[in-house]
């Protein structure tokens, strides 16, 4: 299958140098971060709120069903900022040695999924921890239930599809997908397999397609929910050379793509290769 992106709008985001991660609040408001700054912006690129002191990683923020921002700070604590941007609460305190790397609030359960890692004996080790709304650990996903091997090494982004599969972008392990119970479903390492995938931002669309940025091919790749490759969508236009941040708007069926090399976010409609109507 061939898909292409039709540009709807290009936004220059005030207050960031790169667009490493995008968290959608509504159809016209998103949080966007680089390594230092976290900006609430709109489709005009206005700086509506500005936070510093965030974790210098990638998928370090998310928004819960109440619209509160949840983010990892530079001390590895996980904080919640109220929708009016006035009240900050620490909901999960950092406990060594496991360092939070990325965070995602599940729209279906309200749980908080946190990708963690630590460095020991010359290598990184990763795991995924599920917390309930009060910050209690209710699940840890770390090993392949069939082989006993570790699933993650360096998780950087997390998302879910509509049936609760947990999808992780891991620098060392590619895309790793488990079901809600933690059983390994599949891992994806590029098309063809082993072709040098360098996964970055990740999201799912209304049909549970997986969309991910690949820094190797500088493209957005699309998979079905079973991990089958559907399409590679090159993005070398409209000031996006190196797609990195990614978010999908289910309401308007639009894909937000952020650049690693500048403060540009493009908003696209995904259409099949033969369609002029955007079905």
Pairwise pLDDT comparison (233 vs 34), residue with the higher score? 34
- Alpha-carbon distances of 208 from 97, 212, 227, 237, rounded to whole Å: 34, 12, 11, 26
If you ran DSSP here, which 8-state letter would residue 13 be given? P
- Inside any domain, residue 262: yes
Sign of CA dihedral 2, 8, 217, 161: negative
**Residue 182 falls in which region: left (phi positive, over 0), alpha (psi -120 to 50) or beta:** left
Pairwise pLDDT comparison (72 vs 243), residue with the higher score? 72
Say if residue 38's pLDDT is above 60: yes
Residue with tokens 């207050």: 15
Omega cis (within 30) before 192: yes
Which uninterrupted H or E stretch holds 266? strand 264-272
If you ran DSSP here, which 8-state letter would residue 98 be given? P
- Inside any domain, residue 278: no
pLDDT bin (cut points 50, 70, 90) of residue 121 is confident
- Phi, psi for 230 (deg, rounded to 5): -110, -45
144, 152 contact by CB (below 8 A): no
- Inside any domain, residue 185: yes
Domain tally, the chain:
1
* Domain residue limits at 135: 3-272
- Inside any domain, residue 164: yes
If you ran DSSP here, which 8-state letter would residue 172 be given? T
Q: Average model confidence (pLDDT) for the chain? A: 91
Tell me the chain's radius of gyration from C-alpha atoms.
Answer: 17
Give the 3-state secondary structure of residue 176.
Answer: strand
- Inside any domain, residue 279: no
Q: What is the pLDDT of residue 13?
A: 95
Q: How far apart are CA 261 and CA 263, in angstroms?
A: 7
Question: CATH code at 147?
Answer: 2.120.10.30
Please give the model's pTM, rounded to 2 decimal places: 0.93
- Segment 41-75, tens digit of pLDDT: 999 999 999 999 998 889 999 999 999 999 999 99
Q: How far apart are CA 110 and CA 132, in angstroms?
A: 7
- Inside any domain, residue 31: yes
Q: How far apart are CA 72 and CA 229, in angstroms?
A: 32
pLDDT bin (cut points 50, 70, 90) of residue 277 is very low
Half-sphere exposure in the Cβ direction for 58 (13 Å, CA): 23
- Who contacts 72 (Cβ-Cβ below 8 Å, separation ≥6)? 54, 55, 57, 60, 61, 78, 79, 100, 101, 102, 103
């Amino acid at each position: 299958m061939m898909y292409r992106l039709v540009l709807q709008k290009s936004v220059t985001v005030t207050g960031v140098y790169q667009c490493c991660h995008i968290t959608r609040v509504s159809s016209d408001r998103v949080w966007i971060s680089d390594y230092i700054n976290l900006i609430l912006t709109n489709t005009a690129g206005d700086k509506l709120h500005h936070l510093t002191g965030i974790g210098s990683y990638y998928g370090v923020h998310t928004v819960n069903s109440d619209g509160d921002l949840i983010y990892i700070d530079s001390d590895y604590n996980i904080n919640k900022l109220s929708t009016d941007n006035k009240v900050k609460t620490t909901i999960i305190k950092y406990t060594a040695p496991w360092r939070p790397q990325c965070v995602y609030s599940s729209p279906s359960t309200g749980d908080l999924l946190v990708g963690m890692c630590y460095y020991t004996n010359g290598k990184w080790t990763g795991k995924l921890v599920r917390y309930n709304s009060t910050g209690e650990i209710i699940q840890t996903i770390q090993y392949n239930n069939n082989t006993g091997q570790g699933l993650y090494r360096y998780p950087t982004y997390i998302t879910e599809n509509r049936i609760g599969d947990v999808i992780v972008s891991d620098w060392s392990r590619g895309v790793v997908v488990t079901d809600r119970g933690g059983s390994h479903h599949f891992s994806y390492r590029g098309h063809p397999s082993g072709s040098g995938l360098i996964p970055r931002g990740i999201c799912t669309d209304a049909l549970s397609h997986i969309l991910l940025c690949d820094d190797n091919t500088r493209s957005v790749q699309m998979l079905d929910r079973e991990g089958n490759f559907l399409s590679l969508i090159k993005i070398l236009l409209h000031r996006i050379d190196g797609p990195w941040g990614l978010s999908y708007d289910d309401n308007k069926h639009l894909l937000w793509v952020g650049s690693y090399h500048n403060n540009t976010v493009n908003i696209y409609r995904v259409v099949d290769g033969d369609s002029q109507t955007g079905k």
